[in-house]
Amino acid sequence: MMTNWRLISSALLNVVPLPVVGYLLGQNWLTVLLVAGFLPLADVVIGKDRSNPSRVEEARLLRNPQALRLSRLGLYAYVPVHVALIAWGAWVFAHGQLPAGQSFGLLLSVGLVTGGQGITIAHELGHSRSGMDRLLARLLLVFVGYGHFYIEHNRGHHARVATPDDPATSRLGESLYRFLPRAIIGSLASAWRLEAERLRRRRQDVINVRNQMLWLTGAPLLVAFAISTVLGAPGLLFFAGQCVVAFTLLEAVNYVEHYGLLRGRTSGGTPERVSFRHSWNASERLSNMLLFNLQRHADHHANPTRPYSTLRHREESPQLPTGYPGMLLLALVPRLWFHVMDSKVVRMRTTMANAPERKGMREVGSSIDRQPESENVKCHPSPTRSLPAAPNCVVGRN
């Protein structure tokens, strides 16, 4: 469980607008350097936190209004920072007379914050039972042009995770660069389908004011129009650019979180129940403090409404070698990613599942695992190179 000092530290860190600090120091690439350089190294040096709250501690926290307010402090405090940072960045980009390289660094820096912090906080608020929290989640997502995530994630991804029907689950042998367009396009299409199905169940027309997708798609366009009216084409370019950086970062995180993981089929042909085996877990102390325990992702999928401050480290989950910052860097180089991760996926499928689950995963995996890109897994007599038929696989290079 996150202690009070960690909750306060997390809140303070999340309201410090790093791109503004970098701008004032004349170093508009500062945020990029910290995210891509300092954080991966710091995760290794600082290490992991595998401690979990006892059931008594968790119950005490959930019954304590003051403790609950403290755990939400960092979430709420960031919301005005999110909107102000985008507005400030657009103004500086349009009128700051920065060199092209510095302007690009500013755009990347703001996108990393609005994606890394903003969407993470929107994700947490979007799972809340509070109507105000869910409204704030939608607000954050609108300002990164990804409002449909609110629908697709809660109603789509959580139901279909680790199945071929989930656009946000990356497949064994699929590179980040193949995954991104599939996930971005697939999640948008999925959100429209889910909302249309919801309206049809209520015997309502798809095109009407109760269609949330119309609002969640139209609102970012209104924000873009307002920015372009005030700041012209440069302001619009900045807004669109930071949106792309932010939602690309989100989908890259999705790539890491479920790579190669599959739910087996039950005897009735339906996917097995979501368990701790269907998300990669990481308990790096620093990055979890910054990301509101997002890396304890296995527990989140098993218990979606559990507050981030009480999410648990699960030893029975597949474990990432390091935290998300380091794993995202690794994913940028597919050969290195496959070298590190494919053997872990194979081992998980052959050792962490029981026999019926392995059979179900084999049937699903044989039809969806990608073949051309991953070259470091040999298994025989599997019908596919990347999915083992039995635990006696030989892992190595072709």
- The C-alpha torsion from 109 through 112 and 113 to 119, rounded to 10°, is 160
Q: How far is CA 19 from CA 31, 81, 88, 92, 113, in A?
A: 6, 11, 10, 11, 8
Per-residue b or e along 223-243, where b marks 16 or more CB atoms closer than 10 Å to that residue's CB: bbeebbeebeebbbbbbbbbb
Q: What global pTM score does this model have?
A: 0.88
The pair of three-digit structure tokens given for residue 247, joined into one six-digit string:
């939602």
Residue whose tokens read 């996108």: 111
Residue pair 389/381 in contact by the 8 Å Cβ criterion: yes
- Residue pair 199/208 in contact by the 8 Å Cβ criterion: yes
Say if CB 276 and CB 314 are below 8 A apart. yes
Report pLDDT for 167. Answer: 98
Q: What is d(CA 158, CA 149) in angstroms, rounded to the nearest whole number? A: 12
Is 28 in contact with 93 (CB distance < 8 Å)?
no
Residue pointed to by tokens 């170093």: 27
Task: Give average pLDDT by consecutive 10-residue segment, the chain, 398 residues.
Answer: 63 84 97 97 96 81 76 91 98 95 98 98 96 97 98 97 97 98 98 97 93 97 98 98 99 98 87 92 94 95 90 93 98 98 92 56 56 44 33 31
Answer yes or no: are the C-beta atoms of 263 and 368 closer than 8 Å: no
Give, as one character, the DSSP assignment of residue 278: G
- Return the amino acid letter for 18: L
Distance CA 379, CA 385 (A): 6
Q: What pLDDT, on a 0 to 100 scale, did the predictor assign at position 379?
A: 37
From start to end of the chain, where are the E strands? 377-378, 394-395
